[in-house]
Amino acid sequence: MPVAMSDPVRSPRVRAAVASDRAALGALAGQLVRFHHDLNASRFMLGENVDQGYGRWLIQEAASDQALVLVAELGDGVAGYVYARQEPRNWNDLIDEHGKIHDVFVDPRFRGRGVARALLTAVCERLRALGCQRLVLATATSNEPARNLFASLGFRSTMIEMMLED
């Protein structure tokens, strides 16, 4: 069910992704992958045909009972997306069942209009409705705008990933 907003041109409308969103999702996800790769190419991989592959993956995940793929529209275009999953207990990470927000990305042309906040609010509500008592996400340490947004929604730091390379 979409999140109701006052002005569909100026305020984002959040809805579940559908098959016809595949190209838009792929383009946005490709931008997200390239953003991370540009931050740290040795940490974040960049595969061939990432836009097409990620578009296929996200539409496949949208059909899963364990996943949520939501898009935000401004006017008649997709401005951003969020991808999350219900995750089982993970002994390697020492975390019980949880909702994990894997991706949130807003087209740079639409930033500053509340799109990411609307997407995150909607996905958190839906994960909670599915019974997720804890929600987890990760962000690049250098992505201060994202870290600030997540903190403003109540997320707090719990882990810092570190890497050693040859």
pLDDT tens column, 67-84: 999 999 998 899 999 999
Name the DSSP letter for residue 141. T
Could you tell me the pLDDT band of residue 9, with boundaries at 50, 70 and 90?
low
Read off the pLDDT of residues 29-49 as tens digits, 9 standing for 90 and up. 999 999 999 999 999 999 899
Region 13-152: CATH code: 3.40.630.30
Q: What is the pTM of this model?
A: 0.91
Strand, coil or helix: 134: coil
Helices then strands, counting H and E runs in the chain, come out as 4, 5
Residue carrying structure tokens 């991370």: 36
CA dist list (Å): 50 to 35, 53, 72, 137, 149: 12, 5, 21, 22, 26
Q: Is the pLDDT of residue 152 over 80?
A: yes
Read off the pLDDT of residues 98-131 as tens digits, 9 standing for 90 and up. 999 999 999 999 999 999 999 999 999 999 999 9
